[in-house]
Amino acid sequence: MFNIMKTAILMAAITALFMVIGAMLGGRQGMMLALLFALGMNFFSYWFSDKMVLRMYNAQQVDAASAPQFYAMVQELAQRAGLPMPRVYLIQEDAPNAFATGRNPEHAAVAATTGILRVLSARELRGVMAHELAHVKHRDILISTIAATMAGAISALANFAMFFGGRDEEGRPANPLAGILVAILAPLAASLIQMAISRAREFEADRGGAQISGDPAALAAALQKIEAYAHGTTFQTAEEHPATAQMMILNPLHAGGIDRLFSTHPSTQERVGRLMQMAQGDARAWQG
């Protein structure tokens, strides 16, 4: 219920933001056009944002025939978690990572890169997919997917603002207000995501995934290995769409500056420490 409330607040906040910017750029008519756009975006985000994100990453759906071992692993973990079987996708990408998406457990999907399948052992991969299914079980996936879609919409609005009113002879935006909006919209989009998505959800998904798999140490080892490989491997699609980075099991972004604002992951070291305490039976690992 709490995640549903956060989703509604996020959608309302972005609708209001669109209306304010529309009014600034086009007065009453601009505000009404922005309202219509925001309402359409909200509808689209709720029903189709998962499909958009999967298409963005060129994810290919697999089944028991095309990826028997991976599919069977997800199926076994979903049964252990008491979840409906999600759709399963593979992304042809060397960078090791994975994410879950969808509007609810009945319409969920999990995706993993081919790189993570090569890098991790079967035991470690099982820990990662259990983590993603924990996100499904905790109903984190709707707000994270909508946040990524909405941030993309805000970026599109920033591009519109940049070109609004045309350009001067030197190619600069002719409308000074548009230039100001471009400077503030991307950080504002990142801030909205930060407010909507707590870093604590990753700790909870780690704990939930460890409980589903019954192997906290495997997830801890997977996180360490993913981070080690990620430093030397660029995840190009994530770099091009930094708002989607918060969906991944580990932050895939290398760039600094504004892109870093989209990071919603706690440190790997702290996550691994808590998982190892859990493996040793220390209930205090998740306190504080």
pLDDT in tens, 169-193: 555 555 566 556 655 665 566 566 6
Per-residue confidence (pLDDT) for residue 283, from 0 to 100: 55
- In Å, how far from its chain's centre is CA 107? 16
Residues 229, 234, 237, 241, Cα dihedral to 10°:
100
pLDDT tier at 211, thresholds 50, 70, 90: very high
For the annotated catalytic residues, the residue numbers are 132
If one compares 169 and 151, the residue with the highest pLDDT of the two is 151
Sequence-ordered list of residues with C-beta below 8 angstroms from that of 117, at least 6 positions apart, any chain: 70, 90, 125
Per-residue confidence (pLDDT) for residue 166, from 0 to 100: 45
Query: What 3-state DSSP class applies to 176?
Result: helix
As a whole number, mean pLDDT of residues 72-76 equals: 98
Looking at 34-43, 99-108, 234-243, which range is the least confident one?
A: 34-43
As a whole number, mean pLDDT of residues 209-216 equals: 96
Sequence-ordered list of residues with C-beta below 8 angstroms from that of 7, at least 6 positions apart, any chain: 142, 143, 146, 196
Per-residue confidence (pLDDT) for residue 285, from 0 to 100: 61
Query: What 3-state DSSP class applies to 90?
Result: strand
pLDDT tier at 227, thresholds 50, 70, 90: very high
As a whole number, mean pLDDT of residues 64-83 equals: 98
| pTM for the full predicted model | 0.78
